[in-house]
Amino acid sequence: MHIFMTGVTGYIGSSVAKVLLEAGHSIYGLTRKEESFNALKQLGVEPVLGSLEDESLLIKYARMSDAVVHTADAGHRSSVEAFLRALRGTDKALIHTSGSGIVGDDARGEYEAEHIYQETTPLNRDLEHIRINEQVRKAGEEEGVRGIVIVPSMVYGTSLGLPAESVQLPVIVRKSKENSTGVYIGQGLNRWSNVHIDDLARLYLLALEKAPAGSYLFAENGEESFKDLARYVSEALGYEGRTASWPLDEAVAEFGPIAQYTLASNSRVRSVVARETLGWRPAGESIQSWISHIYRRS
């Protein structure tokens, strides 16, 4: 297949691109920076210069391609609508990347949420990301597009593609190094599900090959509290497992809303549909093991 991808220079996007290329697909990759062309070409991607604001360009390459994999900016409605217009009536796949923050709370690190979400759990929340997810899922019935939504949880692991990092864990590691102790917010009781980047990238391949229109797929293979993550980081960095609370107001002042809504919240999900309908079998190294050897006294 010829596939048009957004976010192809990012952590998730370039890793997905690597797996799709290894499976024999070819990729047009959208990038805003000409300086990324050489790296993309070395990866095997044909660079396309532009942005999510270039609707005519998005439509052109979507129509030239057999599928679209959208890994950039889950809340960018106009690009999703451009893809839906371009693919209308073709039954081609549009794989849209969301994130499990859509089920997150405002725990501020103070408690472990009791509720665990599956793909079929109703989401009674008025969030733009959720509205976009539903628009993509309904595209099969209403627009003749094989709309698929993948919802990653906390992603970890070394990028399979270009040099890039995930969001949450690197922040914890950098702050832990700065303080010479593993850090968490509040009491660190909040929990997030997680998934190895290799398992996540292979889920995209499975979805491209097998997922029916309207598929909604959580991606997870375990979960941890942020206090335990802080301990794993502390042990790996040689701080003898010492941990300390990082005040929420200081974290927000330094890192913005990510601190409150991705480092201090709960996001507990279970990937039932991907396992039962696609045969997805995540087998990546656990987050504790990966931290222990990647950050070992680094």
The proportion of the chain whose per-residue pLDDT surpasses 70, expressed as a percent, equals 99
pLDDT tens by residue, 144-185: 999 999 999 999 999 999 999 998 999 999 999 999 999 999
- Cα three-residue angle 207-211-212, rounded to 5 degrees: 150
Which alpha helices (DSSP H) does the chain contain, by range?
11-22, 37-43, 55-64, 77-87, 128-143, 168-179, 197-210, 226-236, 248-255, 257-258, 273-278, 287-294
Predicted local confidence at residue 170, as pLDDT: 95
Query: Is the four-CA dihedral 194, 197, 198, 202 of positive or negative sign?
Result: positive
From the centroid of its chain, how far is CA 206? Answer: 16
Residue partners of 229: CB distance under 8 A and separation at least 6? 169, 172, 182, 184, 287, 291
Predicted local confidence at residue 177, as pLDDT: 96
Q: Say whether 280 sits in a helix, a strand or coil.
A: coil
Residue partners of 155: CB distance under 8 A and separation at least 6? 11, 12, 166, 194, 195, 196, 197, 200
Residue reference for tokens 């733009």: 128
Per-residue pLDDT at 208 exceeds 80: yes
- Calculate mean pLDDT across residues 204-231: 97
Predicted local confidence at residue 298, as pLDDT: 55
Calpha distance 168→189 (Å, rounded): 16
Predicted local confidence at residue 163, as pLDDT: 93
pLDDT tens by residue, 46-93: 999 999 999 999 999 999 999 999 999 999 999 999 999 999 999 999
Per-residue pLDDT at 126 exceeds 90: no
Predicted local confidence at residue 133, as pLDDT: 96
pLDDT tens by residue, 24-58: 999 999 999 999 999 999 999 999 999 999 999 99
Predicted local confidence at residue 118, as pLDDT: 96
